[in-house]
Amino acid sequence: MANHLFSASWSRVLMTVLVVALSACASKSDQVNAPELGANPALLGVRTVWNTKIAKVDFPLQVKVDGAAVTLAGADGVVQSLDARTGATLWRAEVGAPISAGVGSDGRFAAVVTRDNELVLLEAGQVLWRARLPAQVFTAPLVAGERVFVLGADRGVAAFDAKT
């Protein structure tokens, strides 16, 4: 028991010495004062160039900008492509069913997935083809290199040839 009290006393003494030694090492001359950050002269002015309305969007909004076109879709099944500079409608199409995820586009092809679990591919506002998917989809399709990639809720990836 006496050994235990002796080692507990020594532990407190040793800890006190250590704290005093470490605090003595720090001094105000060691502190570095960061310079004040001034104003950023490279700020860009932002202004509205054009605006448009789409139907209610009850999925994460996915707006695809490809070159001079902006492609977007509302939950009602309307997909549209707009001129990025003017906001003028380049094409507008209805896929015939509500949409479950945003639109994917490469500027030429646009793809959406309906709530009926159907992948719909459009080109210049015309439906090229439809394909039934094996699992629900909650993310926008990826359109690249004349291919359409879809990630299902089951984590399976399906790839389609855009032309066929």
Would the pLDDT of 8 be above 80?
no
Q: Which residue has the higher pLDDT, 108 or 15?
A: 108
Helix ranges, the chain (H): 2-25
Query: DSSP readout, 132-147?
Result: E-SS---S--EEETTE
Strands (E), the chain: 64-66, 69-73, 78-83, 89-94, 104-105, 109-113, 118-123, 126-132, 142-144, 147-151, 157-161
Q: Is 70 helix (H, G, I), strand (E, B) or coil?
A: strand
Residue with the two structure tokens 């439809």: 130
pLDDT per residue as tens digits for the range 104-142? 998 899 999 999 999 999 999 999 999 999 999 888 999
Question: In the block, which residue shows the tokens 């879709």?
Answer: 73
